Structure formats: structure tokens, C-alpha cells
Chain A
Amino acid sequence: MLRFLIRRIALGAFVMLAVTLIIFGVFFVGPGPAYVARRLAGREAPQATVDLIRHRLLLDRPLYVEYLHFLDRLALHHDLGYDYFHQQPVSSVLKQAWPITASLAVGASVLWLLIGVLSGVLSAVKRGSIWDRLVTVSALVFYSVPAFVLGLLLLYVFYFRLTLAGIHLFPGQGYTYFTASPIKWLEGLVLPWITLALISAAAYTRLTRGAMLDVLGEDYIRTARAKGLVERRVIYRHALRSALTPVVSQFGIDLASLLGGAVLTETVFGLPGLGYTAVSSIEQQDLPVIMGIVIVAAAAVIVANIFVDLLYAVLDPRVRLH
């Protein structure tokens, strides 16, 4: 167990190093710095101004110096630099944004695991029934709908139409901090949660259905039934437990895309989380902010994947960590 953890953490550190190298490569090698300096200076500015901006932003030094400097600040001082416009440290920009993305992500993932696993179990147990068909078809539809289409649709029905009808149930845009008003926080997150959850649940429905159908055919399930266990206990205690393994590993993979899905949901609902901040930083060419967000997101994925691997072993005793 301890050896596994050490190995996993070492691997995670290696991956993180590679990630910084890729990000550095994308932003600092090639036309990147020149392009950014030009964009910041404006189309009409003389070359001298562009060069000065480039120098001021420390974008004109030899590559390895820049990379070592970047790595040194990141690793030793946990410093992601300053944004180009407000001279605000990137870390404080991130500090404002992450609770919003976390609120969205945690709520949505609880909801989608519930929807996905329960609907998957339902359609596997009642295989061939009208319920099965309904679940299978809606999973296919939600799998094919992009987050922004579903989000705008929900906004139209539950915000715009309801407001016209005089019912103010959900706010259209924006985020209220939990500490400011828990009720408003909840109201503002219900539609984004549903959007993200429905879209992500579809994959889990299919996965759970498939795994359950496989497991239900196994001998130990017949044994459990022969012992006279109630069907509910057979399904939830015996079958679901091992059917959950692929679900858990999918969840590990999805953490990366969760932040991706959050970008679209945050944009549609005007939630100023990490994704929304990244998108609005593009328009301003605010490189340090975008880089900071990508690095933090990658780190989150790496750490979360280690937890998922541990969870894997807890769920399925057959898995041995090595």
C-alpha cells in the first residue's frame, strides 16, 4: 500500500513536470511571445514598443532561462506570476475562481453518479422493458447533446419562460457565494448542476447497464439468490459492488473532462469559475492567467486520479495495488 502510494506520487510528479514542459512549449516556443507582445501593443505600435513590452514581460530571454525561472517560481514559491492587466497575482485570481468551479463540479458529479448508476441498474434489471428502452434512448440523446445547447434550453424554459410567467425561481446568470446567501447559492447552481449532470450521466448509464448485465449472469449472483436473499440485496450489495469498478475508473478519466464540461456550463450560466475566467482571459491575451488555470487543472486531475486508484482497491477486493 505504502509502496503503491510512493510509486503513484512519483509518477504524478513526473507527469506534472511533463505537463509544465508542454505548457511552456506551447506558450514560449514558436511565435507565441512575439504574437502576444504584438497583440498587447496594438496593430499600429512601432516595433520598438513591441520589443519593450516583450522585455518588460520577460518574454525575450533564452528559452532554458525562462523555463527554469518558470519552474523555480512554480515549485519553490508556488507563484504563477501576475496577470498582464491588473497586476494582480494569478494565484489570487485562481483563489476567487476555484470555489465556483468546485461548487459546480462536486454538486454535478454527485447528481450524475446518482442518475447514471440508478438508471443503469434499472435498465439492466428490467432489461427489455419499456423502462430499459426509455433509459437507453435518453442516454443516447443526452450523450449527443452539447452542454451549451442543453444549458441554453434549460435557461429558456426555467428562467425566461418562468420569469415571463411571473415566477422568479432561478437567476439567469451569475454566482452568489455560499457564505453570502446559501439559498441564493443553491438557486443559482441548480440549472448548471442539472445541465452538467444530465450530459455526463449518459456515459455512466451505459457503463453501469453493461457492467450489471455482465455481473448478473455470474455464478455468485445465482448463489446469492439460491441462498434466499431478497432481490434488492442481491442487486445492490452483490451485483452493483463489482459493477461499480468500471464506473469508478471512468470517473477518474472524466475528471479531466469535467473541467472541460465546466467551461461550457460556466460560460452559458455566467458563473465566473476557472473555465469562464480562462475564456475571458483569451480575449485579453492574459497568458499568465490561462497558463495558471491549465496547470492547476492538470494538478487537480493528477491528484484526483491517485484517489480514484485507491478507491478502486477499496471497492473491489480483487484489485491488488502494486
Chain B
Amino acid sequence: MTLEPMPLEPLAPEAPLDPVVARKIQGRSPWRLAYERLRRDRAAVIAFVVIVLVLLAAIFAPFFATITGHGVNQQFRGQPPGLTPEGLPIGPNHNFWLGTDDQGRDVLVRIAYGARISLFVGVVATLLTVAVGTVFGLAAGYFGRWVDTVIARLVDVVLSLPYLLFAIALASVYHADLAIVIIVIAFFGWASIARVVRGQVLSIREKEYIEASRSLGASSWRIMFVDILPNVLAQVIVYATLLIPVSILFEAALSFLGVGVPPPTADWGQMISEAQGVYQQAWWFFVFPSAALVITTIAFNIFGDGVRDALDPRVEGL
């Protein structure tokens, strides 16, 4: 795994628009057009529905606890039995729909609560990464000269650090928690997006409208954030959507290694790690959390692909 989104593929050329249709869509904003393109992409729509379902599961996690009557950290050792007499997890049954884990807790309820951590880290870490990366990228591209050089060297340094090892090292000195996970993702992720934004800014900076803005007396800040930023936003959004699944996988990996969120918090990576010891006897304990993790990341990757296809300016030229 890397902290960069999937490499992009070139787009299939779009069929030329019917002149009648073309007349109809005149006067719509690029964002509106992108939205309509996205809506026509069946894979992206399905992926979006999956993401919404995961989001609902996360928001209404207590609801799963209520309908099953099982608390998220509640260990069932008496009635109903959550463990076999040998102390092994119980398979899926009418009581525990997805079975129990090695401590007699309900896997379904824990998966629902685990969705909260994954989505939270995925979204917050991505927002932070993108914000930092965009600001650095804008500054490097706009100011050039020594600012560009300093940022370029920073990027070199960040990209040379083996980030998973580094994250593990950090967790060994500080208490492992969600904040560290998010900071680590942002610390290692900003460099790539800064490079992307910088490249865009370099070409936009020379446009006439920037010169016009400058001649009207606009400050550097205004030019960077009001005049340039909206024009790199499409790229940034594409990058951000594809960074979410990467962040989710990274968090799961840290928790799998025991340096993510501390137990007994329900977390997918941690569940898979706990399942390691017993999964030969209790497949459900391994399969369901893994499926939740993989389905969520696939959905985000497909959706991100769709967003890219919809927003990519190369399509607009056709």
C-alpha cells in the first residue's frame, strides 16, 4: 500500500453529442455537467449507494446494538452464550447474526461501530492532507523562487521516510490514538498533492486574468485563494476522493499492527488482527470485518474513478 491514490487511467473518448442534446445542455455550469456525467456512470452510482449504506451503519451503530440487544463491548459468557465451552467464538446464528469474536462480543455490532472509526479517519485525515497539500502547492507554484525550493526539499524529505515504519515508531513514543493516526496520514500525504497543485498553478499563474487581477491591486493572498484556487479545485477534489480509501486502509493497517486506536474500541483492522489467532476455527470473525473493510475501500475507489471521469477537463474539450 502507498499513501498515494491509484494511478489514473486515460479516459475513453466520449461519443460526440447529439446536436439537439448539445443545445439543451448549453448554459449549465461545469459543476452541473460533471454531476450529470457522474449520475450516468452506473458503477459510480452503485459505489455511492454502498458508501451511503456504510455511512448509515456508522451513524446508526447504536441502532444495531438496540435491535440485537448486544452492547458494543459487552462480552457474552452466560446466556445467550457468546463462546463455546472451549472458549471459541460462536458462529452466525439467530442471536448473533454475524457470530461472535474471541471475547464473546457481537461481530455485527462491532463492525457497525468500526465503520465510525474508518469513515472518520478516512474523511478527516483526507481533509487535513488536502488542505495542507493545497496550501503548500499554491505557495510553491505562485511564489516560485526560494519558496518553491524549500517546499520541494521538504517534499523530498517526506517522500524518503518509510511512513508505515515511521508511524509505528511514533506510536511507540506517544500514546497511540486517533489523532496520531490522522496526523501521520497528513504528514506523509500532503507532499503528493502539493506536487499536483504546484504543477497546475505554474500554468495558471501566467494567464491574463491573473495579470488583470494583479493590475487591479489584488494581494497575493487574494490571487492565490480567490483567483487560482477555484481553478485547481477539480483536481483537488478528484485527488481527495481517491485519498479517502487510502487513509482508511492505512488506519486499518496501523490498528492491525496494534498501534492504531487502543482496545476495546471497535475497529476493523483491530478485529482482523484479533481474528488472526482463531480464524481457522472461526472464519466469520475474519471474513466479515475484512469484507466490510474491502467493500468500503472498493466503493470509494470506484466512486473516486467516477468523480475523476466526470470532472476531468479533458472530457470538456470534446
Pair from one complex = yes
Q: Which residues of A (124-181) have their CB < 8 Å from a CB of B? A: 140-141, 143-149, 152-153, 156, 160
State how many angstroms separate the Cβ of B77 from the closest Cβ of chain A: 27
Which residues of the other chain, A, contact B6 by a CB distance below 8 angstroms?
140, 143, 202-203, 206
A31 and B174 form a contact (CB under 8 A):
yes
Which size bracket describes the interface of A in this complex?
35 or more
Partner of A15, one of B9, B156, B170: B156
Which of B105-113, B230-238, B248-256 makes up part of the contact surface? B248-256
State how many angstroms separate the Cβ of A85 from the closest Cβ of chain B: 14
CA distance A254 to B163 in the complex (A): 11
A261 and B1 form a contact (CB under 8 A):
yes
A214 and B10 form a contact (CB under 8 A):
yes
Which residues of the other chain, B, contact A143 by a CB distance below 8 angstroms?
6, 301
- Asked if A259 is at the interface of the complex by the 8 Å CB criterion, the answer is yes
Supposing A156-B280, A305-B160 touch, asked if A148 and B272 sit within 8 A by C-beta, the answer is: yes
Provide the main secondary structure of the chain A interface: helix
CA distance A100 to B216 in the complex (A): 63
- Asked if B7 is at the interface of the complex by the 8 Å CB criterion, the answer is yes
A287 and B168 form a contact (CB under 8 A):
no
Q: Which residues of A (94-110) have their CB < 8 Å from a CB of B? A: none
- Asked if A279 is at the interface of the complex by the 8 Å CB criterion, the answer is yes
A257 and B1 form a contact (CB under 8 A):
yes
Which residues of the other chain, B, contact A250 by a CB distance below 8 angstroms?
7
- Asked if A18 is at the interface of the complex by the 8 Å CB criterion, the answer is yes
Q: Which residues of B (113-168) have their CB < 8 Å from a CB of A? A: 153, 156-157, 159-166, 168
Partner of A22, one of B156, B157, B257: B157
A18 and B9 form a contact (CB under 8 A):
no
- Asked if A282 is at the interface of the complex by the 8 Å CB criterion, the answer is yes
Which of A60-68, A184-192, A232-240, A293-301 makes up part of the contact surface? A293-301
Q: Which residues of A (201-251) have their CB < 8 Å from a CB of B? A: 202-203, 206-207, 209-210, 213-214, 246, 250
State how many angstroms separate the Cβ of B152 from the closest Cβ of chain A: 10
CA distance A257 to B169 in the complex (A): 15
A260 and B164 form a contact (CB under 8 A):
yes
Supposing A26-B169, A31-B174, A287-B172 touch, asked if A260 and B259 sit within 8 A by C-beta, the answer is: no
B3 and A297 form a contact (CB under 8 A):
no
Which residues of the other chain, B, contact A302 by a CB distance below 8 angstroms?
160
Q: Which residues of B (243-286) have their CB < 8 Å from a CB of A? A: 245, 249, 252-253, 256-259, 269, 272-273, 275-276, 279-280, 283, 286
CA distance A293 to B6 in the complex (A): 28
Instruction: Count residues on chain B whose CB falls below 8 Å from chain A CBs.
Output: 51
State how many angstroms separate the Cβ of B164 from the closest Cβ of chain A: 3
- Asked if B171 is at the interface of the complex by the 8 Å CB criterion, the answer is yes
A203 and B168 form a contact (CB under 8 A):
no
Which residues of the other chain, B, contact A260 by a CB distance below 8 angstroms?
1-2, 162-165
- Asked if B297 is at the interface of the complex by the 8 Å CB criterion, the answer is yes
- Asked if B298 is at the interface of the complex by the 8 Å CB criterion, the answer is yes
B301 and A275 form a contact (CB under 8 A):
no
A140 and B169 form a contact (CB under 8 A):
no
- Asked if A271 is at the interface of the complex by the 8 Å CB criterion, the answer is no
CA distance A249 to B292 in the complex (A): 33
Nearest-neighbor residue (CB-CB) of A279 within chain B: B257
B169 and A148 form a contact (CB under 8 A):
no
Nearest-neighbor residue (CB-CB) of A283 within chain B: B258
Which residues of the other chain, B, contact A282 by a CB distance below 8 angstroms?
168-169, 171-172, 258-259
- Asked if A311 is at the interface of the complex by the 8 Å CB criterion, the answer is no
A257 and B2 form a contact (CB under 8 A):
yes
B256 and A148 form a contact (CB under 8 A):
yes
B153 and A15 form a contact (CB under 8 A):
yes
- Asked if B302 is at the interface of the complex by the 8 Å CB criterion, the answer is yes
Which residues of the other chain, B, contact A298 by a CB distance below 8 angstroms?
160-162
A256 and B163 form a contact (CB under 8 A):
yes
State how many angstroms separate the Cβ of B179 from the closest Cβ of chain A: 14
A26 and B298 form a contact (CB under 8 A):
no
A22 and B161 form a contact (CB under 8 A):
yes
Q: Which residues of B (158-199) have their CB < 8 Å from a CB of A? A: 159-166, 168-174
Partner of B294, one of A23, A145, A210: A145
What are 28 A-B interface contacts by the 8 Å CB criterion?
A15-B160, A18-B153, A23-B169, A26-B170, A144-B294, A146-B252, A146-B294, A153-B290, A156-B286, A202-B6, A203-B2, A206-B8, A207-B7, A210-B10, A253-B4, A253-B159, A259-B164, A260-B165, A264-B1, A278-B165, A279-B168, A279-B257, A279-B258, A282-B168, A282-B172, A285-B172, A290-B172, A305-B160
Apart from A203-B7, A294-B165, 18 more pairs, CB < 8 Å: A15-B156, A15-B157, A141-B298, A144-B297, A146-B1, A146-B249, A146-B269, A148-B269, A152-B286, A156-B279, A210-B7, A260-B2, A264-B164, A268-B276, A278-B165, A281-B172, A290-B165, A293-B165
